[in-house]
A and B are shown apart, each in its own frame.
Chain A
Amino acid sequence: MSDVRPGGADPAARPPAGTKARPRRLPVNRLRDRIRRLAAEGQPPEAALQRFFERHDFPVVEGLRCTFAVRVGDADAVTLRHRVVGLADPLPLRRLAGTDLWYVVVEIPPDSRVEYQFEARRGDSYERFNDPGNPRQARGPFGSSSVLHGAGYVTPSWAVHDPDARPGELVETWIRSTAQRRDNRVTLYLPARFRRSARYPLLVVHDGGDYLEYAAMKTVLDNLIHRLDVAEAVVAFTHPGDRLVEYPNSSAHARWIATELVGRLEEDLPLAPGPGARALMGSSFGAVASLSTAVRHPGTFGSLLLQSGSFVFTDIGADHGEDRAFDPVVRFVNRYRARPTRVADRLFVSCGVYEDLIVQNRSMLPVLSGTGMEVEYVESRDGHNWESWRDRLQDGLGFVLPGEAMFVYE
Chain B
Amino acid sequence: MERRAVPGAAGDAVRVTLLGPQRTVAGARAAVAELIPDGPVAAVNAGWRERESDTGELDDVLGGRLQNLELHRRWLEVLEADPVLAAAEQRLAERLDALRTAYRVRLRAALEAVRAVHRQVRDPEVAVDAGADALAALRALDTWHLARGRRLRAEHREEVGLDARPAVAEHRAAVAGLLGGSAGLVVAGGHVGVLLHVLELFALRAVVAGPVITWSAGAMALAERVVLFHDHPPRGERPPEVHADGLGLYAGVVPFPHARRRLRLDEPERMALLARRLAPSRAVLLPDGARLDLEHGVLPRSARRLDPSGAVTAGAAG
Contact = CB atoms under 8 A, between A and B. Distances in A.
A197 B229 contact: no
Interface string A262-289: 0000000000001010000000000000
Contacts of B90: 199
Interface of A: 7, 193, 195, 197, 199, 229, 274, 276, 376, 378, 394-395, 398-399, 404-410
B235 A395 contact: yes
Interface of B: prevailing SS? mixed
Interface string B71-99: 00000100110000000001000100100
A274 B90 CA distance: 12
7 contacts: A193-B50, A199-B90, A405-B230, A407-B192, A407-B194, A409-B192, A409-B257
Contact of B190 (A7, A395, A409): A409
Given A395-B235, A398-B235, A407 B228 contact: yes
B228 A406 contact: yes
Given A7-B234, A395-B235, A409 B79 contact: no
From B190, B229, B235, residue with most partner A Cβ within 10 Å: B235
A395 B233 CA distance: 10
A410 B190 contact: yes
Contact of B193 (A7, A195, A399, A407): A407
B192 A276 contact: no
Contacts of B230: 405-406
A376 B233 CA distance: 15
Nearest to B240: A406
Contacts of A199: 90
Interface bin, chain B:
20 to 34
A409 B193 contact: no
A378 B236 CA distance: 11
A337 B8 CA distance: 63
A276 to B, nearest CB: 7
B119 to A, nearest CB: 23
Nearest to B76: A197
A406 B94 contact: no
A316 B128 CA distance: 54
A406 B258 contact: no
Nearest to A398: B234
A242 B228 CA distance: 47
Contact of B94 (A274, A394, A410): A274
B274 interface: no
A222 to B, nearest CB: 16
Q: Which 3 A-B pairs give the minimum distances between C-beta atoms?
A: A409-B216, A409-B217, A406-B228
B79 A197 contact: yes
B241 interface: yes
B294 interface: no
B292 interface: no
